[in-house]
Amino acid sequence: MNNLVESGYDLRQWGNIVKYNIYRKNIVYLALPLIYIISMLIIRPVVNSEVVKYSYINLDSYRTIAITKEEKIKSILERYNLTKDEFKVVVAIVLSEAEGNSYEDAYAVINTIYNRTHSKNWIRSVNGHFGKNKGYSLYYQAISPNQFTVYKSGAYRKHLNNTTSIGYDAIIDFLYTEKTMHNYLSFRSHSIKIKNSESFSSKGNNYFNVMKEENRV
C-alpha cells in the first residue's frame, strides 16, 4: 500500500515537472517573435559614410551640365586639329558664304566643308595643293584655290571677329555635334539655279553634288 502511495506521489511530481517544462517552452516560443520585433526597432543598421558619399556622387553625375561656348570651341580645336587662327578663318569664310545671315545656311555651308574632308576626290585635290593629309583639314579645304571667292578676294576678313551672330552659333553647333544636315559637296548662290539642288532657308544657297558612298572615306 505504501508503495502505491509513493508511486502515486512520484507520478504527480513527474507530471508537475512535465507541465512546467511545457509551459516554460511555450512562453519562450511566444516571446521569440516579440523579442525579434523589438530588436529590429531598437537596433539600427550602421551607416557606411563611404557608400553614402559614392551614391551622392553617382546620382549627381547624371545632372544636366551646361557646356559653355568656350569649352565647345576648345573641344573643336582638338578634334579637328585646328589652331585658333585657322578656326577664325574657317568661321569667317563660312559666314561670308552663308546667305541671308541665317542659322540654317551657315550650318549648311560648314556641313559642305566637313563633307569634303570625307570625300576621297576632294581630299586628293587638296593634298595636291598643300601636301599629304591636308585634305582632311577643314582649314585647307576652306582656303583651297578656286573654291571660295570670299577667301580669294579677302572679303572674309570682315567676319574674322564675328562671334555674336546666329551663324557663328550654327558653326559651333555643327562642329561640336557633327549632326549632318545634308550630304552635298558643292553649292552656288541663291540667285544661281542648279538642277536638282536644295536650299535650306528662304534666301540660302543652292546645294548639289551628292557625295557617293564609294567616294566616302
Summarize pLDDT for 122-138 with one digit per residue, the tens: 999 999 999 999 999 99
Share of the chain above pLDDT 90, in %: 66
**What pLDDT, on a 0 to 100 scale, did the predictor assign at position 99?**
87
Summarize pLDDT for 177-197 with one digit per residue, the tens: 999 999 999 999 999 999 999
| Domain ranges (residues) in the chain | 2-60, 69-215
Whether this prediction's pTM lies above 0.75 is answered by no
CA 188 to the chain's CA centroid:
34
DSSP assignment of 43-102: PPPPP-HHHHHHHHHHHHTTS--PPPHHHHHHHHHHHTT--HHHHHHHHHHHHHHSGGG-
Largest separation between any pair of C-alpha atoms in the chain? 141
CA 203 to the chain's CA centroid:
33
